[in-house]
A and B are shown apart, each in its own frame.
Chain A
Amino acid sequence: MTKILELEAINVIRNKNLILENVSLSIEDSDFLGLLGPSGSGKTTLLKIMCGLITPDTGKITYPSTKKPKIGYLPQALPSLPNSPATVMEIISSGFDSKPFTNNHEKIITMAKEMGVQNLLETKITQLSGGQIQLVFLIRALIDNPDMIILDEPSSSIDTKSQSKIFQILADVNKNNIPVIFSSHDTFAITNSANRIACINKKLDYHGSSKDFLSNKHLAESYGYSVDVLSHKGHD
């Protein structure tokens, strides 16, 4: 296991409000890390720090193995593109960090087929539903073989069938030692897919395996109320 990213004692203060307090977290190449926490707990801020979009007020960010990894990123707030003529193909193509004039259409078609959006490639992005737009930007995040994948609520607008397909694709990517970090409010999606869970509420309340997390104590600490966990046969 190789460490890809290390955050040490991260503090973020905005308008005199503490957004993140003393958060330390390391990301390894085998990590499929689910980030859980109530609204306003600092999940998006933490993911943006990992992407290099926000500089913390104090703390240290290091990339132990190599230089800054190439990141595939899906933001929580998807771009608003009224009147944009950009097609799905053009949006996904923009995910490649390649030189100008490089044709990557075959790879895009293959991945679009996997996600079931191959028929939408020549459609304008403005003509798609919220869920379809989220799928397009997810493909964009994955298309250029990133070293690390960071997804802010990747399944929030997507139907259950597509969700399981997405998490299966992410699990396959993760098998090749590409760390996947994602946030969600869906405890089932997180405990079912992630191999590690970080529970955040300004501070890092919990960081460990998904199995340990499913004790009432951790869920209650994160959300502030008691939660019953029901197990079914065939599901741990």
Chain B
Amino acid sequence: MLEMLSQDFMINALIGSVVLSITAPILGMFVVSRRISLVGDTLSHLAFAGIAIGVFLDFFPLLTTITFSIIASLLLIKLMQSNTLNSDAVLAVFFSSSMAVGTVLLSLSEQVININEILFGSLLWITRQDILYQGIVGLSIIAITLFSYKKWFLISIDQDLSRVNNTNVNFYDNLLIVLTSILIVVSVRMVGVLLISSLLVLPILIALQLTNNFRNTIFIGIGISLLCTLSGVTSSYYLSSHPSIIPPSGLIVIILSAIFTIVLIKNNLKIDKFESNF
């Protein structure tokens, strides 16, 4: 353990894990309760296209990625709100077209890019600067959530009731999507674009099986996320040996999925037992 903590990149990875474990379930709770869980997946694919554009243009890659992701996510939510197309069709179009744009632009780029690291993340990728960006984004998410909690909660209950209470539903939906999009971009180095949405959704799905109120679901989700992310990062360090490096994202999601399955089976057994008493 001490050996692991003597490595600078591992300290960065562990700090990054803690920040991500706190912020992802906060936004994940509202994403899940708005029943737009697949939006997280689409946003992470948009981030892939954003990274590719940043690499291709070779012009402030992070700024380019964030700007592209914000614009594309606002366009995505605008189309979903307009009811011109079904939401799942909009998600499917953005999902595939962003992957297509990303793949083509990365192939055309003159820079040497390891696509595996973008798709699955890597412990070696994380720098102090990444931690700083994650910290700033994390603190902003916590502060905005404290002031938007009641509005996001009410919107998740009923949009008409929110509008009667003078809540601008579209504004708060846009805010949620933009924050999620920025969180994905600054965390993508650690967990990669393909699996980051699991960190938004899975801890909350597990917490929903264990809690009895809305607010506690977020806190339990954070606890589960911390446990799984730190275990995944630590396991990745000990299980990897050059040249085979196991990305932490895969291990984190395997641990989360295992816990989710166990909790789900346990709860269903309880229901069966309850029903058999009648």
Contacts and interface: CB of A to CB of B under 8 A. Distances in A.
Interface of A: 48, 51-53, 71, 73, 75, 79, 81, 83-87, 89-91, 94-95, 97, 100-101, 122, 124, 140
Max chain A CB contacts within 10 Å: which of B150, B156, B164, B165?
A: B164
B212 A122 contact: yes
A78 to B, nearest CB: 8
Contact of B161 (A75, A84, A100): A75
Interface of B: 33, 146-147, 149-150, 153-154, 156-158, 160-161, 163-166, 208, 211-217
B157 A91 contact: yes
B7 to A, nearest CB: 39
B146 A84 contact: no
B196 to A, nearest CB: 23
Given A85-B214, A100-B150, A73 B161 contact: yes
A97 B163 CA distance: 12
Given A83-B208, A85-B211, A97 B165 contact: yes
A122 B157 CA distance: 17
Contacts of B147: 100
7 contacts: A48-B160, A79-B158, A81-B157, A84-B157, A86-B213, A87-B214, A94-B154
Given A53-B164, A75-B160, A97-B165, A84 B150 contact: no
A85 B208 contact: yes
A51 B213 CA distance: 29
Contacts of A89: 213
A215 B90 CA distance: 55
Nearest to A137: B161
Nearest to A86: B214
A166 B164 CA distance: 22
